[in-house]
Amino acid sequence: MQAAPRAHRLSPLPSRPLSPGLSPSLVWALIWSLIWTGLSLSSAPALAEPVGCVSTRFKMLGANDKVCIDSFQDPKIEGVVGHVSRAKTGGVKGMVGLAEDTSDASIACRQVGPIRIKKELEDGEDVFKESRSWLFKRLQVVRFHDKPNNTLVYLAYSDKLVEGSPKNAISTVPIMPWGPSAAVSGPEKP
């Protein structure tokens, strides 16, 4: 009787170093960090439109440090626009994408037309995301629906894979009628 052929276990990476200094565990760590970074960048719920930047510190090499403002629209709600301002680090590290920006951010959201909720809302749902460093740090804006007060609440905060920052900012948008049919008339004149 012939023995069944043995199944060979395939290893995705060889057990010996690929090159001096590159062990398989380091390669796997790099692969997972790239996947994590790619997921955090590709899952951005809303695309930001740049509004403008101002320089805050001159850098001899590379771009200056800046405060930049972007606008974004809530993907599930028509008639609401948000603006986020945050610091961007310049210099050589900022130019090549290795600088870690601060966790400071400011947010303002306003009703700019009739509010129409397109889909069911979930509290704490991501509305805007942006990478703040080359690895693991993100600026996020999440939305809450304060039903008793008929208000949308937007919270901006920064997080890391291991430890986030307590720095945050909020903006509220009361859900109100819009347009000429919604105008409040004053008292009638005699």
pLDDT in tens, the chain (190 residues): 555 555 444 444 445 544 555 666 666 666 655 555 554 443 445 577 889 988 887 767 767 788 889 999 999 999 999 999 988 777 666 565 656 667 788 999 999 999 999 999 999 999 988 766 656 677 889 999 999 999 999 999 887 655 666 788 999 999 999 877 654 333 445 5
Q: Phi first, then psi: what are they for 34, rounded to 5°?
A: -65, -40
pLDDT on residue 47: 72
Q: Are 121 and 153 in contact (CB under 8 A)?
A: no
Report pLDDT digits (tens) over 1-34: 555 555 444 444 445 544 555 666 666 666 655 5
CA trace torsion 90, 94, 100, 106 (10° rounding): 50
Computed from CA positions of residues 30, 32, 33, 37, in that sequence, does the dihedral angle turn out positive or negative?
positive
pLDDT at 25: 65
Structure-derived torsion over alpha carbons of residues 117, 175, 173, 72, reported in degrees to the nearest 10 = 30
**Collapsed DSSP state (helix, strand, coil) of residue 190:** coil
Q: Which two tokens stand for residue 144?
A: 């809450």
pTM (two decimals): 0.64
Specify the pLDDT at position 167: 83
Count of helix runs (H) and strand runs (E) in the chain: 2, 8
Q: Which residue has the tokens 């599930």?
A: 76
| Residue 54 and residue 66 in contact, taking contact as beta carbons nearer than 8 Å | yes
